[in-house]
Amino acid sequence: MSRIGKAIINIPSGVTVTESNGVVTVKGPKGELSQTLTEGIALEQEEGVLTFTRPSEAKHHKALHGLYRALINNMIVGTTEGFTNKLELVGVGYRASHSGQRLELALGFSHGILLDLPKEITLETLTEKGKNPIVTLSSHDKQLLGMVSAKIRSFRKPEPYKGKGVRFVGEIVRRKAGKSA
């Protein structure tokens, strides 16, 4: 991870990065995010460039060095461009609809699944005839977006025989052969 930690981060215009008492705050056009740094990892900001330093060459410090550099970089990218995840519902009768921040899924259970999403996430559902329904989630917070996407996927993971379930768009599901007669 030390190679990742040594890489510099260029701060785009319109984004401000401040550090106080070990808490890094990033403000941009799409929102504001904050992250607490552990003891020892130092952040240096000079002329629109961020660099991270570690106190020693210990394995633990090297790992944290790369981790915090990646987290702060994701915060900067999220507040400028944002992140998007697309989930595809593969299966007969699988449906998705939304009203406001409430997502309603029909995934073959005897009841529908209702999920209230955080206000930081933008939700869109697309249903076209003859195609699988697609749920699009967008946010400036990559961690929150990943957690919500994983939660939705956990309701019905893709199974290896028919490939039915909730999967990311473009995800390849390894298929197994069924029983041979």
Give the predicted TM-score (pTM) of the model: 0.88
Residue spans in the chain of domains classed CATH 3.90.930.12: 2-80, 83-168
Indicate if the alpha-carbon torsion angle 9, 10, 12, 16 is positive or negative: positive
pLDDT of the residue at 29: 93
- CATH classification of 83-168 is 3.90.930.12, yes or no? yes
Model pLDDT, residue 181:
62
pLDDT at 56: 87
Q: Per-residue pLDDT tens for 143-171?
A: 999 999 999 999 999 999 999 999 999 98
Q: 158: which residues sit within 8 A by CB, 6+ positions away?
A: 90, 164, 165, 166, 167, 171, 173
Residue 141 burial by Cβ neighbours in a 10 Å radius (0-12, 13-18, 19+): buried
Bridge partner residues of 135 (DSSP) = 87, 125
From first CA to last CA, the distance across the chain in angstroms is: 51
Reported as a pLDDT band with limits 50, 70 and 90, residue 1 is very low
Q: Return the CA Rg of the chain.
A: 21
Alpha-carbon span 83 to 91, nearest angstrom: 27
Cα–chain-centroid distance for residue 11?
21
Fold for 2-80, please state it: Outer Surface Protein A; domain 3 (3.90.930)
Q: Do the beta carbons of residue 128 and residue 96 sit within 8 Å?
A: no
Q: How many CA atoms lie within 13 A of 149 on its CB side?
A: 22
Q: Using one digit for the tens of pLDDT, what is the confidence trace for 89-135?
A: 999 999 999 999 999 999 999 999 999 999 999 999 999 999 999 99
